[in-house]
Structure 1
């Protein structure tokens, strides 16, 4: 191995506690400071992420200080029920009602039999046709004029199954009331 001649930089005074050219001895506790910074950064990222999730998901995630305050529960106002009009002879002719029947059940020609039964009973019928979907489970009677709720309730009573639903007039523009038969409807006699 080659040896080099000694110069003034090879001799260091004894009072300088340096190791190498620029390093001094490590101070005690220096590793804990780095660990504390890493712990702080992790906490900020975790809590920031939980807060962002709670805002995005609209859930409280079960964390008390991220929970949104509960809205006061109000009791609904009593709904005025309308007496079902079950006798079609009592319908005022000036109302000019028409009732359409759509078959949303898998049974074919069910709309025709229901149409014929209601026509025989005296209901003001319009037309009968298959619905666009044949897998509808529940029967509904749709009405677009709030004054026709009594007739819609009467149709549900006459059919023996179904619910009434208020819809905008442009949903079923051909008739004031539309019956959509679902697979829950059983024809009379079954």
Structure 2
């Protein structure tokens, strides 16, 4: 079906210069193509920005699943003593690390009780024992009954045991609950200082 338009001066063909130009009907759907390209470009720019921010904040790591993270390898390379080998008997527990083995490992002491100044007491005790405490503060809860030393990576277990020994406790646990430090001490009501 063709549409008839009223005759006008542009319909007359003359041998002289062109008088006007014919415009065809606009194709449908061209707006969606431009919108799709704009959406794709926006998505790519947002993804690059999020990735860059995550790399700058250190929340992404490009290590393979079996290799240690950068903090674990830094603390392992800074360690003067070799770690327990796989050939040691399973019944023999590895010895607790000493403050000299700490290297670049970050250590945070948190007060898990309502007792004021408990984190400062724990930090002073660890500093006196030779450990380098990165910071102190309050834990998210105040009802903690037992003192627990949390560590991020399996390679930090001996350091956590050494820190726990310095505090007079044996409770150590691997956990990702405290992502801002390699080792986090949560002092409970059982800590006398």
- 1:160 Cα deviation from its structure 2 partner: 0.5
In structure 1, the residue matched to 2:37 is none
Matched, 1:184 2:175: no
What root-mean-square deviation, in Å, do the aligned CA atoms of Structure 1 and Structure 2 show? 1.7
TM (norm. structure 2) is 0.50
8 Å contact 1:161–1:184 — kept in the other structure? no
- 1:162 Cα deviation from its structure 2 partner: 4.3
In structure 1, the residue matched to 2:113 is 105
In structure 1, the residue matched to 2:70 is none
- 1:81 Cα deviation from its structure 2 partner: 2.4
Of 88, 97, 104, the match for 2:99: 88
8 Å contact 2:112–2:188 — kept in the other structure? yes
In 2, the alpha carbon distance for the partners of 1:146 and 1:92 equals 14
- 1:80 Cα deviation from its structure 2 partner: 6.0
In structure 2, the residue matched to 1:128 is 136
Q: List per-residue Cα deviations over 1:79-117 (Å, max 9, x = no partner).
A: 6622111x312x163xx1011011012311110121122
In 2, the alpha carbon distance for the partners of 1:159 and 1:92 equals 16
Flag the structure with larger Rg: 1
Provide the aligned length of Structure 1 versus Structure 2: 104
Mapping for residues 40-79 of structure 1, pairs under 5 Å: none
In structure 2, the residue matched to 1:167 is 175
In 2, the alpha carbon distance for the partners of 1:114 and 1:162 equals 15
Mapping for residues 108-119 of structure 1, pairs under 5 Å: 108-119=116-127
- 1:181 Cα deviation from its structure 2 partner: 0.5
SS of structure 2 residue aligned to 1:134: coil
Of 111, 117, 137, the match for 2:145: 137
TM (norm. structure 1) is 0.51
In 1, the alpha carbon distance for the partners of 2:102 and 2:110 equals 24
SS of structure 2 residue aligned to 1:180: strand
CA distance 1:154–1:132, shift in 2 (3 Å): same
In 1, the alpha carbon distance for the partners of 2:182 and 2:192 equals 24
In 2, the alpha carbon distance for the partners of 1:112 and 1:173 equals 21
